[in-house]
Amino acid sequence: MKLRTRIHLYSSVLFAVLLVLMNLAIYFMFSRLSMNSQLEQAEAEGSQIAAGMHSAAAAADVADLLRAYVPADGMIRLLSEDGSGPAPVTSASEQAISRLPAVYDVHVRSSILHEGGRTYASVSTPVIWADGSVRNVQLTKSLEHTVGTLNVLRVVLAVATLVALLPLVLSSRLLAGIIMKPIVQMTQTMQGIKRSGRFTRLELDDKSRDELVEMGQTFNEMIALLESNYLKQEKFVSDASHELRTPLTVIESYASLLKRRGLEHPELFEESVEAIHSEAIRMKELTEQLLLLARHKDHWNLSLAAVDLEELAEGSARAFRYAYGREVAVSVSPGGVAHGYSDEAKLKQLLFIFLDNARKYSDGEISLTLASAGPECVITIADRGIGIPKAELPKVFDRFYRVDEARGRKQGGAGLGLSLAAEIAEAIGAQLELDSVEGLGTTVKIRIAAAESGGAL
pLDDT for residue 294? 64
The per-residue pLDDT for 297 is: 57
Provide the percentage of residues in the chain whose pLDDT is more than 70: 84
Which residue ranges make up each domain of the chain?
Answer: 3-151, 303-456
Global pTM value: 0.46
Beta strands in 268-402 (DSSP E): 304-308, 328-332, 339-343, 366-373, 376-382
Q: What number is the average pLDDT over the span 90-96? A: 85
169 band by pLDDT with thresholds 50, 70 and 90: confident
What is the number of other CB atoms lying within 10 angstroms of the CB of residue 141?
25
Beta carbons within 8 Å of 341's beta carbon, 6+ residues apart: 304, 305, 306, 307, 448, 449, 450, 451, 453, 454, 457
**Nearest 5 degrees, angle CA 405-CA 408-CA 409?**
90
Which whole-number Å values give the CA distances from 116 to 76, 113, 138, 142, 286, in the listed order? 18, 10, 19, 12, 101
Query: Using one digit for the tens of pLDDT, what is the confidence trace for 24-78?
Result: 999 999 999 999 999 999 999 989 988 888 888 777 788 888 888 888 888 999 8
Helices 417-428/344-360 angle, 10° precision: 150
Q: Can you say whether residue 429 is alpha, beta or left, with left for phi > 0 and alpha for psi between -120 and 50 degrees?
A: left
User: Over 50: is that where the pLDDT of 450 sits?
Assistant: yes
- Would the pLDDT of 453 be above 80? no
Type of residue at 90? T
Determine the Cα–Cα distance for residues 114 and 456; give it in Å rounded to an integer. Answer: 83
Position 268 scores a pLDDT of 73
Q: Is 144 helix (H, G, I), strand (E, B) or coil?
A: helix
Spell out the residues 6+ positions from residue 390 whose beta carbon is closer than 8 angstroms to its own: 436, 438
- Provide the pLDDT confidence category of residue 405 given band limits of 50, 70 and 90: very low
The type of residue at 101 is P
Higher pLDDT, 429 or 272: 429
* Candidate ranges 98-107, 184-193, 250-259, 377-386; pick with highest mean pLDDT: 377-386
Q: What are the angstrom distances between the C-alpha of 335 and each of 59, 332, 357, 453?
A: 125, 8, 29, 18
Closest listed residue to residue 412, CA positions, set 231, 261, 289, 298: 289
Residue 457 binned pLDDT confidence (cut-offs 50, 70, 90):
very low
**From CA 56, how far away is CA 265, in angstroms rounded?**
151
Mean pLDDT over residues 324-332, rounded? 86
What's the rounded mean pLDDT across residues 246-260? Answer: 76
CA distance 134 to 80: 7
Query: What is residue 289's predicted lDDT score, i.e. its pLDDT?
Result: 61
Those residues with Cβ within 8 angstroms of residue 249's Cβ, 6 or more apart along the chain or in another chain: none
Please provide residue 213's backbone torsions phi and psi, each rounded to the nearest 5 degrees: -65, -40
Indicate whether 193 pLDDT > 80: no
Domain 3-151 in this protein, CATH class: alpha beta
Question: b vs e for 109-124, b when ≥16 Cβ sit within 10 Å of the residue's Cβ?
Answer: bbeeeeeeeebbbbbb
Instruction: Round to whole Å and give the CA distance between 65 and 55.
Output: 11
Q: Mind listing the pLDDT tens digit for each residue in 278-315?
A: 778 767 766 766 666 666 555 566 788 888 888 888 88
Does the domain spanning 303-456 belong to CATH 3.30.565.10? yes
Window from 210-219, 378-387, 436-445 with minimum mean pLDDT? 210-219
Compute the Cα dihedral for 383, 386, 389, 393 and give only its sign: negative
Q: What is the pLDDT of residue 362?
A: 86
Alpha-carbon distances of 432 from 242, 419, 426, rounded to whole Å: 28, 12, 9
- Please state, in angstroms and rounded to a whole number, the distance separating the CA atoms of residues 1 and 102: 65
> What is the distance of C-alpha 361 from the center of its chain?
53
